[in-house]
Structure 1
Amino acid sequence: MVDGEASLATRAAWLYFAAGLTQSEVADRLNIQSTKAHRLIARASREGMIRVFVEGPVAECMALENTLTERYGLGFCRVAPDLGEGDWPLKALALEGASFLRQILERGEHNIIGVGHGRTLAAVVEQMPQTPARGMQFVSLLGGLTRKFAANPFDVIHRLAERTGAEAYLLPVPVFANSVADRAVLMKQYGIADVFALARQASLLFVGIGQIHPDGFLVSSGMIKPDELVELKRAGACADLLGHFFSADGKVLDLELSARATSMAPEDLRKHRIVAIGGGLAKVTALRAVLRSGLLHGLIIDEATAQALTTDKPGATSGKTKNKGRKGK
């Protein structure tokens, strides 16, 4: 078992000694208090972690984190070391995501956290230890029912409540309404409107990123039909985030399907601090598209996928302007 504190100390040392960040900036990047950043850096020095060169997989991941942070104007990025899982590094992502979420809960700076759903987020919660977070609230950012009106098996709200003891609120509506008019009626219903209002108050949104593919989560879970997938591909969609679809250059596509999504509109999402988790080489195009949109404040990704993104040409981004001056959390 890897010592989590030792790994965090190595990250702190890399940022402080190699990247030249101040202790305060290190604390912001790692989502920890300044006093803890000081202790971690001191530990790294005391235990001989500091050399002329920072070596090993963590150092390589930190270099990728810095590259992606700068390229896409992120507040922070965390790269999970390669565990040799192949095309879909679910365990690596889950471990890194669980570490991030645990640190967020321990800091207690967010009273309301909005969460998406999907296989990766569900795996994150499965890797989390029991972490008391009473007084906090988790709220779904998207409807939790499939086209068959069955509960989404990868909904994370109830699992989060079990692991943390926090209050959790589910949106008991389909992911996509049958029409724009139906969506308007659904979202005004007593209880549902209250949950949706709570989601708007969330100070942190923790979400997954999907790809537009027959094997993707949207189709396999029954959230969209095959003919809708064809329409999405025809419109140039290559990624989705909370029911909204993105072209390869990072533009949010104005689609009727998106207008039926039971989630916040893109203009509302831009007002929030969004941290996304996703990986696997099959998702490179989808991840790049969402990164180019400038919507993300933070990204959790696996090492191989991060390498693929950093070896690409940067392309057009809007995150540099949007995130300028923002601190990583």
Structure 2
Amino acid sequence: MPKDFIDMDDHELMVRISWYYYKEGLTQSQIAKKFNTNRMKVMKILEKALNKNVVEIKIKDPYVNLLSIEKELISKYGLEDAVVVPVHSNDKKDISRQLGLAASQYIQRIAKNGDVLGIGWGQAVSNTIRNLSLDHIDNFYIVSLSGGMLPLISDASFFSKYSSYFKILPAPLLVSNEKVAEDIYNEPEVRSIKNLWDLANHLIVGIGSMSSDATILKRGYLKDLHFASLKQKGAVGDILGQYFDEDGNIIDFETNERIISFDITKLKEKQNVIAVAGGENKTSAIRASIRAGYVKTLIVDENTAKALLSE
């Protein structure tokens, strides 16, 4: 039987109670009974033991490291928030699926009644939509931030379930010439969607790389010749089909005049732009987009996050 409170100094008391609680696994009520006191006093002593560094708690789990990486990303790049996804394989499709799942969970956590959610172009965003559920909110809108979205989301059960909430821009991502783009922007339905762009308080975008497996290439919107020319001009990646250099400056290119998309320079004015992007081939593009102020929250895989922190 341990000594009573009155027979021990504060330090000895903290050590003994901490030992019983953390090493022996006794409950606070059991400890209180041993020391002939109450649970509230035991709880306060345990709290004091932590504050005085008598007890040091270490969490041994791989996810703790991810939390540390998230904190470093936020600090280094001035982000509002970051989510780092553990890597289970190097398969790009698997990474994209994992990112989409994490992004959908993040959006479900922050979404509120009356929100206007803008969704961008790309495979990672498509995977986000596939996993998203917004049953807990109502009176919301989901608006596409570019043309060419329907093929990327129409096979998702989310789209059929919430189709009445969707406002899809009725156009491809790129059209044949500037005049066609101008005519599309003048359509009443498109003007209505552009008005919703101004109201969107959460924008979900993907970040494209300059690799041969870029979604914009696979979907046939850009030819290899265009891609090579963009690389020569210093492009490191794109958001919504708009290419930028390592400083985030928009590349002057002929497709800019015929793209049907939200102007990414206006992303800087938005409160919460969530980028869902991964794969180490996107490191330069992600870094540039953050530094340019296009991105406020980053959802990224572990390896890419480490690459972003290594420079």
**1:132–1:163 contact (8 Å) kept in structure 2:** no
The alignment status of 1:135 with 2:133, answered yes or no, reads: no
**2:129–2:156 contact (8 Å) kept in structure 1:** no
Aligned residue identity for 2:99 = L
Aligned residue identity for 1:207 = V
Residue 77 of structure 1, aligned match among 79, 82, 90: 82
Residue 266 of structure 2, aligned match among 244, 265, 268: 268
Secondary structure in structure 2 of the residue aligned to 1:93: helix
* Equivalent residue, structure 2, for 1:309: 308
- Following the alignment from structure 1 to structure 2, what is the Cα–Cα distance between the partners of residues 186 and 128? 30
Shift in Å, 1:117: 2.7
- C-alpha spacing 1:215/1:161, structure 2 compared with 1 (3 Å): closer
Larger RCO of the pair (alpha carbons < 8 Å, separation 6+) = 1
Secondary structure in structure 1 of the residue aligned to 2:176: coil
**2:202–2:274 contact (8 Å) kept in structure 1:** yes
Secondary structure in structure 2 of the residue aligned to 1:117: coil
Q: How does 1:1-329 map to 2 (within 5 A)?
A: 52-88=57-93, 89-105=95-111, 107-108=112-113, 111-129=115-133, 131-144=135-148, 152-155=150-153, 159-164=157-162, 167-272=165-270, 273-311=272-310, 313=311
Which stretches in structure 2 are left out of the alignment for 5+ residues? Answer: 1-49
* Equivalent residue, structure 1, for 2:5: none
Shift in Å, 1:166: 5.6
- Following the alignment from structure 1 to structure 2, what is the Cα–Cα distance between the partners of residues 183 and 277? 27
Shift in Å, 1:95: 2.1
- Following the alignment from structure 1 to structure 2, what is the Cα–Cα distance between the partners of residues 245 and 157? 28
Aligned residue identity for 1:134 = D
Shift in Å, 1:236: 1.0
- C-alpha spacing 1:268/1:130, structure 2 compared with 1 (3 Å): closer
- C-alpha spacing 1:249/1:267, structure 2 compared with 1 (3 Å): closer
**Number of residue equivalences:** 256
- Following the alignment from structure 2 to structure 1, what is the Cα–Cα distance between the partners of residues 56 and 214? 44
- Following the alignment from structure 2 to structure 1, what is the Cα–Cα distance between the partners of residues 257 and 152? 23
| Alignment deviations for residues 239-269 of structure 1 (CA, whole Å, 9 cap, x no partner) | 1001211112322223231232211223322
| Alignment deviations for residues 146-174 of structure 1 (CA, whole Å, 9 cap, x no partner) | xxxxxx53236975443557610111112
**1:97–1:124 contact (8 Å) kept in structure 2:** yes
Secondary structure in structure 1 of the residue aligned to 2:146: coil
**1:144–1:155 contact (8 Å) kept in structure 2:** no
The percent of aligned pairs where both chains have the same amino acid is 25
Secondary structure in structure 2 of the residue aligned to 1:211: coil
Give me the TM-score of the superposition, normalised by structure 1. Answer: 0.71
Secondary structure in structure 2 of the residue aligned to 1:154: helix
* Equivalent residue, structure 2, for 1:326: none
Aligned residue identity for 1:212 = M
Aligned residue identity for 2:184 = L
| Alignment deviations for residues 45-101 of structure 1 (CA, whole Å, 9 cap, x no partner) | 9xxxx9623332221111111111111111111111222354551232122112112
Aligned-residue CA RMSD (Å): 2.4
Aligned residue identity for 1:162 = S
Aligned residue identity for 2:192 = D
**2:117–2:142 contact (8 Å) kept in structure 1:** yes
- C-alpha spacing 1:262/1:197, structure 2 compared with 1 (3 Å): same
| Alignment deviations for residues 160-214 of structure 1 (CA, whole Å, 9 cap, x no partner) | 4435576101111121222233212110012121112212221111111111222
Give me the TM-score of the superposition, normalised by structure 2. Answer: 0.75
Secondary structure in structure 1 of the residue aligned to 2:73: helix
- C-alpha spacing 1:62/1:187, structure 2 compared with 1 (3 Å): same
**2:115–2:201 contact (8 Å) kept in structure 1:** yes
- C-alpha spacing 1:164/1:133, structure 2 compared with 1 (3 Å): farther
Secondary structure in structure 1 of the residue aligned to 2:300: strand
Compare CA radii of gyration and give the structure with the larger one.
2
- Following the alignment from structure 2 to structure 1, what is the Cα–Cα distance between the partners of residues 166 and 186? 20
**1:74–1:297 contact (8 Å) kept in structure 2:** yes
**1:130–1:163 contact (8 Å) kept in structure 2:** no
Which stretches in structure 1 are left out of the alignment for 5+ residues? Answer: 1-44, 146-151, 314-329
* Equivalent residue, structure 1, for 2:29: none
